[in-house]
A = this chain, B = another copy of it.
Amino acid sequence: MNDEPKRYHHGDLRRALLDTALEMLSRDDGWQFTLREVARRAGVSHTAAYKHFSDKADLLAELALVGFERLREALIAARPAEPESLRVAYLEMSAAYVQFGTANPNLYRLTFSNEARISANPRLKQRADAALQVLIDLFVGGQRAGWLRERDARAQANAAWAQLHGLVLLMIDGLLDEPIAAASLAIMLEGLEA
């Protein structure tokens, strides 16, 4: 027999709620969904969510955690195994960053929306740092290989991160089109090269 009458959500309503919210972020426009709507789509009463999240901000923080993690994975996936130049590695990874943001505008916005108070949340701050670390590693490696101007790699990584973050948000907002964003990336790269 199959189990149409749902039996207490196989014990993982928490996961189900997160997945439902992530799906809403990927489909709908806007990241400002309501808790009640998430519960509704998960097929559960809206008060059930409070057994798994202390409040809406808590749910948002959990989703931001996922956002930072996926961003980090996207950067790592784009990192060439044996880069023959900073140019290649940087262009691949920055393109992956912009691609991730523009392909997941709602999740990206939510991740950085600070409804979740990123800097006050140690777990979130740590995941943000983990994503940034991928860029720092890139620049540390680039300097070691002599491809980069010798400046503080952390500052270089933050300079790049800020630009990538800004590019993604301006593109999401329709204030910057792809060709100009690509030209901006090239200008940044050129300025970093040795």
A170 touches B162 (CB 8 A): yes
Alpha-carbon separation in the docked complex, A21 to B163 (Å): 30
Alpha-carbon separation in the docked complex, A190 to B151 (Å): 11
Stretch at the interface among A5-13, A78-86, A153-161: A153-161
| Number of residues of chain A lying within 8 A (CB) of chain B | 40
For A166, the chain B residues whose CB sits under 8 A away are: 161-167, 169
| A34 interface hit (Cβ, 8 Å) | no
Q: How far is the CB of A7 from chain B (nearest CB, A)?
A: 38
Specify which of B119, B154, B187 is in contact with A192 (CB 8 Å cutoff): B187
**Residues of A contacting B: mostly:** helix
Which residues 153-194 of A have a CB within 8 angstroms of B? 154-156, 158-159, 161-167, 169-170, 172-176, 180-181, 183-188, 190-192
B158 touches A180 (CB 8 A): yes
Which residues 127-164 of A have a CB within 8 angstroms of B? 128, 149, 151-152, 154-156, 158-159, 161-164
For A172, the chain B residues whose CB sits under 8 A away are: 114
* A interface list, Cβ under 8 A from B: 112, 114, 118-120, 125, 128, 149, 151-152, 154-156, 158-159, 161-167, 169-170, 172-176, 180-181, 183-188, 190-192
